[in-house]
Chain A
């Protein structure tokens, strides 16, 4: 386990954030989730993240690999451990906690 630190800035050393956003078609929820994610990443992880969007309608076989049930689901592949955040990511605070960019208050 890595140490969790309170501020996002301390993460700058990690360099490599690999995020996957699972969606099912261009639904309002999916679009909202992507927009929210993009915004959060730009604010907190600028230049160190990579977002891969997987549309399960096009690639249904990919759902089981990351144990996807809910849509949208954001999976933090790296840094480990894997974390999942489900929903449209509208609650920025919870997303930050979920990504371990901020400790739960």
Chain B
């Protein structure tokens, strides 16, 4: 957490060095501390080297900050091969003098120690590399290798401490990777020397699901998220999830997309939903939320758009059968590959895993429309605050990708459900479905509770599920008005 009163230096807001890693800069408020060392600790295979490399490559390409990568474990050729699959062309960056990779090979077998020494050789190499290309970023991966190569721990510790201090004096933003220790953060206690920023990477398998997580253990002088953030290693590199605070700078596409029902389009300014907006369909049991979602999907697929349907209650077959009964045939869209269902019980795994699954499937399928049916089921796996945070992240992610998202939400009869209220502020268009009892008959009513950025109908309309789809019409009721709209 922020501790801003220890010295003058720390009172100022720290300048940041953006990592360019999606999600990472959001949770750190702009990146790693500029001109200071950051320790990345984690067990083998958790993504430390990749993190360090991305920090340098993004720095060199996006932020005009050349970098020096001191590799203790892999040589330049191996490193280049490892990250080539992510689209990083290290050799080209080296050629352009934006990156230097210096492979430091130390082998105990060929070294004999006699008497006093220091690590000036390493300092000089690093300093020379930094000065050659005017580097602003440095990665040391993994400096602990020195502990297995040289036996004098006392000298090593003193020299590493001097090294971190020296990096700070040089004013470079450094990333130092370290192996996770047994019961300690790093095997050789390097966290004691790096006071500014410590990030822990973790890779664990829970109930057969493997999750990578990232946690900011400390970040002096900066407010930071203290959560564990799941992250992915995708074909584009590291992506920290959930993206908590993308902010409100999404592009807002002005295009519109039909709801699949003409009368509902008419209620929404005659054109339907906004593309890339978030839509909530709330209603009590059996009011036709899924049917409304299905007509939206059906119309989209008929236009040749791709849809991804996350169902948390019904199986694919069940949904297709039910929708066929109201004249909506989804199976041709599935066969064509336009529509993809993903069916999973919310309790199957944790919220983060759901987020990751959703994220990955969206990346794979590249849909224009995503349905989550229903989001209320997530409350079975997390507290209200957690679920709200998760849904916020999903919405942010979808908006950032300009995907139109439709969420259904189950509400209790006659009680405005807390869960819906919790996320409603994030929603652009909210349609409420109600069962109305009138003259001894139950009827479905539909109204647009809100719809940002458009003139929408304020009427309550009747809503019927017929053999030929959904029919929306005028609602003629007799009785006290409070019955119609208990909210």
Binding site for B on A (CB under 8 A): 22, 24, 29, 32-33, 56-57, 60-61, 63-64, 67-73, 81-91, 94-95, 97-98
Which residue on A lies nearest to B122, using beta carbons?
A: A69
Which of B38-46, B112-120, B401-409 makes up part of the contact surface?
B112-120
Closest 6 CB pairs of A and B: A98-B112, A60-B128, A87-B115, A90-B115, A88-B115, A68-B121
Say how far B170's CB is from chain A's closest CB, in angstroms. Answer: 14
A67 to B145, CA, bound (A): 14
A32 to B127, CA, bound (A): 25
Q: Which residues of B contact A86 (CB under 8 A)?
A: 111-114, 117, 150
User: Given A69-B104, A69-B122, A87–B128 Cβ distance below 8 Å?
Assistant: no
Say how far B153's CB is from chain A's closest CB, in angstroms. Answer: 14
Q: Which residues of A contact B128 (CB under 8 A)?
A: 60-61, 63
A14 to B300, CA, bound (A): 84
Say how far A61's CB is from chain B's closest CB, in angstroms. Answer: 6
Binding site for A on B (CB under 8 A): 102, 104-106, 110-122, 124-125, 127-128, 146, 150
The answer to whether A84 and B112 touch across the interface, beta carbons within 8 angstroms, is yes
Q: Most chain-B Cβ atoms within 10 A of its Cβ — which of A29, A61, A63?
A: A63
The answer to whether A69 and B112 touch across the interface, beta carbons within 8 angstroms, is no
The answer to whether B117 and A70 touch across the interface, beta carbons within 8 angstroms, is yes
A63 to B150, CA, bound (A): 18
The answer to whether B106 and A69 touch across the interface, beta carbons within 8 angstroms, is yes
The answer to whether A91 and B118 touch across the interface, beta carbons within 8 angstroms, is no
The answer to whether A88 and B120 touch across the interface, beta carbons within 8 angstroms, is no
The answer to whether B115 and A91 touch across the interface, beta carbons within 8 angstroms, is yes
The answer to whether B122 and A83 touch across the interface, beta carbons within 8 angstroms, is no
Across chains A and B, the number of contacting residue pairs, with CB separation under 8 Å, is 94
Which residue on B lies nearest to A73, using beta carbons?
A: B121
Q: Which residues of B contact A33 (CB under 8 A)?
A: 115
Q: Most chain-B Cβ atoms within 10 A of its Cβ — which of A24, A29, A64, A95?
A: A64
Say how far B240's CB is from chain A's closest CB, in angstroms. Answer: 34
Say how far A57's CB is from chain B's closest CB, in angstroms. Answer: 7
The answer to whether A88 and B116 touch across the interface, beta carbons within 8 angstroms, is yes
The answer to whether B112 and A97 touch across the interface, beta carbons within 8 angstroms, is yes
User: Given A56-B120, A64-B102, A67-B105, A90–B114 Cβ distance below 8 Å?
Assistant: yes
Partner of A71, one of B110, B113, B121: B121
Say how far A2's CB is from chain B's closest CB, in angstroms. Answer: 15
| Secondary structure call for the B interface | mixed
The answer to whether A85 and B118 touch across the interface, beta carbons within 8 angstroms, is no
The answer to whether B118 and A71 touch across the interface, beta carbons within 8 angstroms, is yes
Which residue on B lies nearest to A90, using beta carbons?
A: B115
The answer to whether A88 and B114 touch across the interface, beta carbons within 8 angstroms, is yes
Which residue on B lies nearest to A55, using beta carbons?
A: B124
Q: Which residues of B contact A91 (CB under 8 A)?
A: 114-115
A57 to B127, CA, bound (A): 10
Q: Which residues of A contact B125 (CB under 8 A)?
A: 60, 63-64, 68-69
User: Given A60-B128, A61-B128, A64-B102, A71–B112 Cβ distance below 8 Å?
Assistant: no
The answer to whether A71 and B120 touch across the interface, beta carbons within 8 angstroms, is yes
A56 to B122, CA, bound (A): 10
Say how far B124's CB is from chain A's closest CB, in angstroms. Answer: 5
A24 to B105, CA, bound (A): 20
The answer to whether B110 and A29 touch across the interface, beta carbons within 8 angstroms, is no
The answer to whether B121 and A56 touch across the interface, beta carbons within 8 angstroms, is yes
A94 to B111, CA, bound (A): 11
Q: Which residues of A contact B150 (CB under 8 A)?
A: 70, 86
The answer to whether A94 and B110 touch across the interface, beta carbons within 8 angstroms, is no
A89 to B127, CA, bound (A): 26
The answer to whether A67 and B104 touch across the interface, beta carbons within 8 angstroms, is yes
The answer to whether B121 and A94 touch across the interface, beta carbons within 8 angstroms, is no
Which residue on B lies nearest to A81, using beta carbons?
A: B110
Say how far B147's CB is from chain A's closest CB, in angstroms. Answer: 12
A87 to B116, CA, bound (A): 5
The answer to whether A63 and B110 touch across the interface, beta carbons within 8 angstroms, is no
Q: Which residues of A contact B117 (CB under 8 A)?
A: 29, 70-73, 86-88
Q: Which residues of A contact B146 (CB under 8 A)?
A: 69
Q: Which residues of A contact B106 (CB under 8 A)?
A: 67, 69
Partner of B116, one of A68, A90, A97: A90
Q: Which residues of B contact A64 (CB under 8 A)?
A: 102, 125
User: Given A69-B106, A69-B146, A63–B112 Cβ distance below 8 Å?
Assistant: no
Say how far A82's CB is from chain B's closest CB, in angstroms. Answer: 7
The answer to whether B114 and A84 touch across the interface, beta carbons within 8 angstroms, is no
Q: Which residues of A contact B114 (CB under 8 A)?
A: 85-91, 94-95, 98
Say how far B101's CB is from chain A's closest CB, in angstroms. Answer: 11
Between-chain CB contacts (< 8 Å), 12 pairs? A29-B116, A29-B117, A63-B124, A64-B102, A67-B106, A71-B117, A71-B120, A86-B112, A88-B116, A89-B115, A90-B115, A91-B114
A102 to B290, CA, bound (A): 85
Q: Which residues of A contact B121 (CB under 8 A)?
A: 22, 24, 56, 63, 68-71, 73
Say how far B66's CB is from chain A's closest CB, in angstroms. Answer: 17
Which residue on B lies nearest to A98, using beta carbons?
A: B112
A88 to B118, CA, bound (A): 10
The answer to whether B127 and A60 touch across the interface, beta carbons within 8 angstroms, is yes
Q: Which residues of A contact B122 (CB under 8 A)?
A: 69-70
A63 to B105, CA, bound (A): 12
The answer to whether B120 and A85 touch across the interface, beta carbons within 8 angstroms, is no
